[in-house]
Structure 1
Amino acid sequence: MTTEVRARQRSDARDNRERILAVARAAFAMDGLGVPIREIARRAEVGAATVYRHFTTKEALLAEVFADQMASCAEIVRRGLAADDPWRGLCLVVEQLMAVHALDRGFARAFTSRMSEPAEFAAERDRTLASLLELVRQAKDAGSLREDFVLEDINLALLANEGIRADTPEMRLAASRRFAALMLRSFQAHPVWTPLPPAVRLPPAQG
C-alpha cells in the first residue's frame, strides 16, 4: 500500500469520525439519548460498523459528543463555588446549567443519568456533582437555602427544563430563565419577592 493511499484512508477515517460526531451531536440535542446508532449511521451516510470502529459503544459516542458541555458545566459550578455569597453562587449555577440544558435535550439526560459511560466522563461528572453538593452545603449553612433541599431537586429541575418546547432557541432560553427563577424561589429558605423574567408564549402541552 502506497503512502498516498494510506494518507487518503486516514483522511477518510477522520472525516467519517467528525461527520459521525456532528450528526450525533445534532441528533441527541434535538431528540434526546434514545436515537439509535443505526439512525446516527444513516444520517451520517456511513454503515453502523463504521460508527462502532470509531466508538466501541454508544456510551463512548455520548461521552465524546458531550465532552465540551461537561467541561462547560464543570466551569459553571467552579465559578458558583468561588462566589463570595453561596446563595448567589447557587443561583448562578442553576440559571446557567438550565440555559445549557435548554439547548441540548440529550446532555440533560447524560448529566443526570448513571449510564455506563467511559470512566473519564463519569469522573468529571462526579467531581462536578461533588462541588455542587459543597455549594449546597454552604448555602444551607448561610441560612439561604431551605434545609429540606436535596441535590436531586436540581436534577429534577434540569429534567423538567429539558421538556421546554419553543419555536426558537432564543425562546427556549427565555422560557428557561423564567423557569429557573421560579425554581430558585422555591429553593430559597426565606423567599424574597422579585419580578420574574418575562413569560414566553409556548405551544400547548400535548396530551
Structure 2
Amino acid sequence: MTTDLLRLRADAAENRDRLLEAARALFADRGLAVPMREIARRAEVGPATLYRRFPTKQSLIDAAFEDELLACRRIVSVGCTRPDPWQGFAFVLEHLTVLNTANQGFVDAFTSAHPAADVFAAHRRDLLGQLSGLAARAQAAGSLRADFVLDDLVLVLLAGRGLAAAPVSARAAAARRFAALALEGFRSAPGAGVLPPPARLAAGAVAGAAVGSLQPFTAAAKA
C-alpha cells in the first residue's frame, strides 16, 4: 500500500472523527436543530466532505449517538441482571436519568420519532421488553407498587428532560435527586394513594408498534 493511499485513509478517518466530535458538541449544547453546514464549519471541513461521510442528518445523528446507545443498553442490562429486582429498577431509573441530562442532543433524539430510524425502533422495543420484565419481577416481589405501568417510567424520564436546563455542574446531582424522589413514588407502601389513570406513552412499543411509543429510548430525530 502506497504512502499516498495511507495518508488519504488517515485524512478520511480524521475528518470523520472531527465531524462526529463537532456534531456531539453542538448537539449537546443546542439540540438537534443545528444546521449541517454549521457542523462542517465547526469541524473545519467543507460541506462536501460532511455529506460524503454522512449523506443525511439522520446518519450523522445515528453515528454521533452510537456510544450513548451502547451506554443505555448497558444500564438496562446491568439493572435487569441484579438479583434484587427493586435494586435493578432503581439502578436503571437513576442512571438513565443521569444519562438523559448529560447531553441535550441525546435527550432531543430520545424524545422524538422518525419512521426511518429502524435501528432505534428495534432498540426501543428491546429495552422496553427488558424493562417490562424487570418491573413485573419487582411487583411480584412486593417492592414496586402494584398499579405501576411502564408508561410511568417513560413519564419520569420525559419529565427529567427539564434537568438539562440546570447548570452543567449541578445536572448529575439534580438527576440523582430527581430519580430518588420518583423512586419513592414508585415504591410499594401501605396506605399508598390511588393514582390517576396513566398517560399511554409506551402503549404498543413492546409489540413493535410505530415509533413514538417509547420516546426516551428512541435515538432518532428529524433530519
Fold-level match, TM-score > 0.5? yes
| Distance in 2 of aligned mates of 1:125 and 1:14 | 30
Q: 2:74 corresponds to which letter in structure 1?
A: E
Q: What letter corresponds to residue 180 of structure 1 in structure 2?
A: A
2:123 is matched with which residue? 124
What is the aligned-residue RMSD (CA, Å)? 2.4
AA partner of residue 128 (structure 1): L
What is the CA-CA distance between 1:48 and the residue it aligns to? 2.7
Q: 1:166 matched to which residue of 2?
A: 166
Q: Which shifted more, 53-62 or 4-13?
A: 4-13
TM-score (norm 2): 0.75
Whichever residue aligns with residue 66 of structure 2, its letter is A
Quick one: distance in 2 between partners of 1:187 and 1:152? Answer: 12
**Residue of structure 2 equivalent to 1:187:** 186
Alpha-carbon distance, 1:131 to partner: 0.8
Which residue identity lines up with residue 28 of structure 2 in the other structure?
A
- Greater Cα shift, 101-110 or 89-98: 101-110
Letter in 1 for 2:54: F
Task: Say whether the 8 Å CA contact 1:133–1:151 is kept in structure 2.
Answer: yes
Distance 1:64 1:99, change over 3 A: same
Match of 2:204 in 1: none
Give the AA of the match of 2:175.
Answer: S
- 1:168 alignment partner AA: V
Q: Which segment is superposed worse, 76-85 or 183-192?
A: 183-192
Q: Secondary structure at the match of 1:109?
A: helix
Give structure 2 stretches of 5+ with no counterpart: 192-223
* Structure-to-structure mapping, 1:144-155, within 5 angstroms: 144-155=143-154
Spell out the pairing of 1:6-25 with structure 2 (5 A cutoff): 6-25=5-24
1:1-27 C-alpha deviation (Å, 9 max, x unpaired): x94443333222211111000011111
- Bigger drift between 133-142 and 4-13 goes to 4-13
- Cα separation, partners in 2 of 1:173 and 1:54, compared to 1, 3 Å: same
Residue 95 (structure 1) aligns with: 94
In the other structure, the counterpart of 1:197 is: none
TM-score by length of 1: 0.80
Gaps of at least 5 residues in structure 1 are 193-207
Question: Is 1:28–1:35's contact at 8 Å kept on the other side of the alignment?
Answer: yes
- 1:168 is displaced (CA, Å) by 3.2
Q: Which has the higher contact order (CA 8 A, sep 6+)?
A: 2
Rounded Cα–Cα distance in structure 1 between residues aligned with 2:131 and 2:22: 31
% identical equivalent positions: 48
2:25 aligns with 26
> Which position in structure 2 is the counterpart of 1:142?
141
Q: Could you tell me how far 1:117 is from its partner in structure 2? A: 5.6
CA distance in 2, matches of 1:112, 1:168: 20
Q: Against the structure 1 CA distance between its residues 59 and 23, is the aligned structure 2 distance closer, same or farther, given a 3 Å change threshold?
A: same
Structure 2: distance between partners of 1:101 and 1:156: 13
- The letter for the 1-side match of 2:178 is F
Describe how 1:62-101 pairs up with structure 2 within 5 A. Answer: 62-101=61-100
